A and B are shown apart, each in its own frame.
Chain A
Amino acid sequence: NAGVTQTPKFRILKIGQSMTLQCTQDMNHNYMYWYRQDPGMGLKLIYYSVGAGITDKGEVPNGYNVSRSTTEDFPLRLELAAPSQTSVYFCASRDRGDNEKLFFGSGTQLSVL
């Protein structure tokens, strides 16, 4: 059972480059999330989705885009990478209902130089 899978694990970008962080889950979860984790700052919500075709902004959406064409996949797009986007990115998912447990991927460490 794979759970939540994120790729790549590490990436170095130059300023202005673009990339997509991939996230897929095999638990048929409706809810999916993207967080960024900065040192000493905890997790900040970038975008989330409550189901295929539905996305919404979190606390820090600027500079990012998402799409949710299927239940399984929730890619995060950086169009013009900036040094401020250097961070560790986590994708997470959960089922709808009483069980609010989040399942996290292992993270993507991104450096923008």
Chain B
Amino acid sequence: GDSVTQMEGPVTLSEEAFLTINCTYTATGYPSLFWYVQYPGEGLQLLLKATKADDKGSNKGFEATYRKETTSFHLEKGSVQVSDSAVYFCALSGDNDMRFGAGTRLTVKP
């Protein structure tokens, strides 16, 4: 079935460093792709999404581009802040459900 694979964590960066979290997917059709973020003690929140190939989703300085040729949707941010510390989940939408990756914990140190 459809699935998402994320890079293993945790990731620890210094403030203002560049962030990449890798995500690849397997799907029979053409799903929409998502990044969700989970702050401590909270539920997941949508960070950004892309609905078709070559679309770029962006929000709060984060970006991800839907790459059909490499089946990837990597998350990037040019300069991370301490407040970006959270768990990040890549996800794809099936016909009726949403499938999530294992999550990548990011810690940003001042």
Contact = CB atoms under 8 A, between A and B. Distances in A.
Interface of A: 4, 31, 33, 35, 40-43, 45, 48, 50, 56, 58, 90, 92, 94, 98, 100-102, 104-107
A100 B95 CA distance: 11
A102 B89 contact: no
Interface residues of B, number: 22
A101 B45 CA distance: 9
Contacts of A35: 100
24 contacts: A4-B43, A33-B97, A35-B100, A40-B103, A42-B6, A42-B89, A42-B100, A42-B103, A43-B103, A45-B97, A45-B99, A90-B44, A92-B44, A100-B32, A100-B49, A100-B93, A102-B36, A102-B44, A102-B46, A104-B43, A104-B45, A106-B41, A106-B42, A106-B43
A33 B96 CA distance: 10
A56 B43 contact: no
B38 to A, nearest CB: 9
Contacts of A105: 43
Interface in B1-34: 6, 32, 34
B99 to A, nearest CB: 7
B100 A43 contact: yes
Give the top 10 A-B pairs by smallest Cβ distance, nearest first.
A104-B43, A42-B102, A43-B100, A104-B44, A101-B46, A42-B103, A100-B93, A42-B100, A106-B43, A48-B97
Contacts of A101: 46, 49
Given A48-B96, A100-B93, A42 B101 contact: yes
Contacts of B32: 100
Contacts of B82: none
A7 to B, nearest CB: 14
A103 B87 CA distance: 17
Contacts of B102: 40-42
Given A35-B100, A92-B44, A100-B34, 15 more contacts: A31-B96, A33-B98, A42-B89, A42-B100, A43-B89, A45-B97, A48-B96, A90-B43, A92-B98, A100-B32, A100-B51, A100-B98, A101-B46, A104-B43, A107-B43
